[in-house]
Amino acid sequence: MKIAIIGAGNMGGAVALGLHRFAKDVSLIVTTAHASTLEKYAALGMDVTLDNVSAAKEADVIILGVKPWLVQSVLAQIESTLAGKVLLSLAAGIPSAQMAQWLSGAKIKAAYTVIPNLAAEIGESMTFASAILGQADEVVKSLFDRLGKTRIVDEKRLKAGMMVASCGTAFALRYARAAMEGGVQLGLYPHEALEAVYQTMKGAVDLAESRGTHPEAEIDRVTTPGGITIRGLNAMEEAGFTAAVIAGLK
């Protein structure tokens, strides 16, 4: 399978690096807007070009990683190359109906909106995908399951998944920053606090996943009656912790 990644910025680049590492059976060609950006991909042995049309022409699957406001113009640029191919757009916030309209003359096999997160680079993404035109679930899953976990959903749930999983990377790391700052206030050196927070977050997730439990079940195991953990949890809730998270997602 030949894959063109058109627009290897932050998200497109994370997907490119992940596929390069974990999908050795596919052939990649990467494009960016600037030659200097291509250098890091070329240094890894990937095929690179500044020519979107030539890259798309060679590919079986085209992953569109450009910014949402550039999608229409790039699609118009590569439209003649799309017949019989699968297009996977990483652009958030563009309704399927709008994308379908832009692709109406392309004779494309299938098109999807695919929302991974930056952990695709290390094979730990949570990716949500929704069909725009046609059907190619097996192609989407065969690629993005290499980069973590993939769930194919309808358009409404795609938006929810994007908030929880893609934007969620920033939300989780904002908690990490807050916990680190709290650790420093309590007396840890910054590097000690950061190490402790990252390892604790990782350990908490791995523990709950390995046991197949609801988060609250593991919380209950830590909260001794009258103990310090429940005091901390209650103080966070008094400050609006859960309400703030839900408000941010909404």
Residue type, 146: R
The 10s digit of each residue's pLDDT in 212-223 is 999 999 999 999
Homologous superfamily assigned to 168-249: ProC C-terminal domain-like (1.10.3730.10)
Cα 80 to its chain centre, rounded Å, is: 28
The answer, yes or no, to whether residue 36 has pLDDT greater than 90, is no
Domain regions of the chain by residue span: 2-154, 168-249
Mean pLDDT of the chain: 96
What is this structure's pTM? Answer: 0.93
Arch. (CATH architecture) of 2-154: 3-Layer(aba) Sandwich (3.40)
Burial classification of residue 164, based on how many CB atoms lie within 10 Å of its CB (0-12 exposed, 13-18 middle, 19 or more buried): middle
The 10s digit of each residue's pLDDT in 48-90 is 999 999 999 999 999 999 999 999 999 999 999 999 999 999 9
